[in-house]
Protein backbone atom coordinates (compact mmCIF):
# COMPACT_ATOMS: atom_id res chain seq x y z
CA UNK A 1 0.00 0.00 0.00
CA UNK A 2 2.87 2.37 0.74
CA UNK A 3 4.24 1.99 -2.80
CA UNK A 4 0.75 2.64 -4.19
CA UNK A 5 0.49 5.80 -2.06
CA UNK A 6 3.94 7.04 -3.06
CA UNK A 7 3.05 6.76 -6.77
CA UNK A 8 0.06 9.04 -6.11
CA UNK A 9 1.92 11.49 -3.86
CA UNK A 10 -0.28 10.64 -0.87
CA UNK A 11 1.47 11.83 2.27
CA UNK A 12 0.69 9.25 4.94
CA UNK A 13 -0.13 10.78 8.28
CA UNK A 14 -1.42 14.16 7.14
CA UNK A 15 -4.99 15.07 8.13
CA UNK A 16 -6.46 13.80 4.82
CA UNK A 17 -4.54 10.52 4.49
CA UNK A 18 -5.13 8.57 7.67
CA UNK A 19 -4.55 4.81 7.57
CA UNK A 20 -7.01 2.55 9.37
CA UNK A 21 -6.24 -1.08 10.09
CA UNK A 22 -7.87 -4.18 11.49
CA UNK A 23 -7.35 -7.93 11.84
CA UNK A 24 -8.60 -9.86 8.82
CA UNK A 25 -9.14 -12.64 9.61
CA UNK A 26 -9.21 -12.30 13.38
CA UNK A 27 -6.87 -14.69 15.17
CA UNK A 28 -8.63 -17.61 16.83
CA UNK A 29 -7.60 -20.70 18.76
CA UNK A 30 -9.10 -22.86 15.97
CA UNK A 31 -6.87 -21.63 13.13
CA UNK A 32 -3.38 -20.26 12.66
CA UNK A 33 -4.55 -18.07 9.77
CA UNK A 34 -4.10 -14.40 10.62
CA UNK A 35 -3.89 -11.22 8.62
CA UNK A 36 -4.10 -7.46 8.89
CA UNK A 37 -5.91 -5.16 6.48
CA UNK A 38 -5.30 -1.45 5.93
CA UNK A 39 -7.80 1.13 4.69
CA UNK A 40 -7.09 4.60 3.33
CA UNK A 41 -9.75 7.07 2.21
CA UNK A 42 -9.44 7.90 -1.51
CA UNK A 43 -11.49 9.75 -4.10
CA UNK A 44 -14.24 7.79 -5.87
CA UNK A 45 -12.39 7.85 -9.21
CA UNK A 46 -9.18 6.34 -7.79
CA UNK A 47 -8.09 3.20 -9.66
CA UNK A 48 -6.77 0.01 -8.02
CA UNK A 49 -3.40 -1.37 -9.06
CA UNK A 50 -1.43 -4.54 -8.29
CA UNK A 51 -2.83 -6.06 -5.06
CA UNK A 52 -4.51 -2.83 -3.87
CA UNK A 53 -8.32 -2.85 -4.03
CA UNK A 54 -10.66 0.14 -3.96
CA UNK A 55 -13.83 -0.65 -2.00
CA UNK A 56 -16.76 1.20 -0.51
CA UNK A 57 -16.63 0.90 3.27
CA UNK A 58 -19.65 1.86 5.35
CA UNK A 59 -17.91 1.98 8.69
CA UNK A 60 -18.71 0.30 11.95
CA UNK A 61 -17.59 0.27 15.56
CA UNK A 62 -13.91 0.88 16.02
CA UNK A 63 -11.32 2.31 18.36
CA UNK A 64 -8.44 4.56 17.37
CA UNK A 65 -4.96 4.84 18.81
CA UNK A 66 -1.63 6.15 17.63
CA UNK A 67 1.87 4.78 17.94
CA UNK A 68 5.17 5.72 16.39
CA UNK A 69 7.30 2.87 15.14
CA UNK A 70 6.65 -0.84 15.25
CA UNK A 71 8.10 -1.15 18.75
CA UNK A 72 5.06 0.70 20.17
CA UNK A 73 2.33 -1.42 18.56
CA UNK A 74 1.95 -4.01 21.31
CA UNK A 75 1.78 -1.38 24.05
CA UNK A 76 -0.84 0.62 22.07
CA UNK A 77 -2.99 -2.48 21.47
CA UNK A 78 -2.75 -3.44 25.16
CA UNK A 79 -3.89 0.06 26.15
CA UNK A 80 -6.93 -0.27 23.86
CA UNK A 81 -7.71 -3.71 25.24
CA UNK A 82 -7.51 -2.37 28.81
CA UNK A 83 -9.81 0.53 27.95
CA UNK A 84 -7.20 3.23 28.45
Q: Where are the chain's structural domains?
A: 2-81
- Residue 83 pLDDT grade (very low, low, confident, very high; cuts 50, 70, 90): confident
**What is the phi/psi pair of residue 73, to 5°?**
-65, -50
What pLDDT, in 10s, does the model give residues 40-63? 888 888 888 888 888 888 877 777
* Mean of pLDDT values over 9-24: 80
What pLDDT, in 10s, does the model give residues 31-46? 888 888 888 888 888 8
Amino acid sequence: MLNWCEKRNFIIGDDRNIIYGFNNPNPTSETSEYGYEFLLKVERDEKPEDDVRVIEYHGGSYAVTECTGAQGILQSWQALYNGA
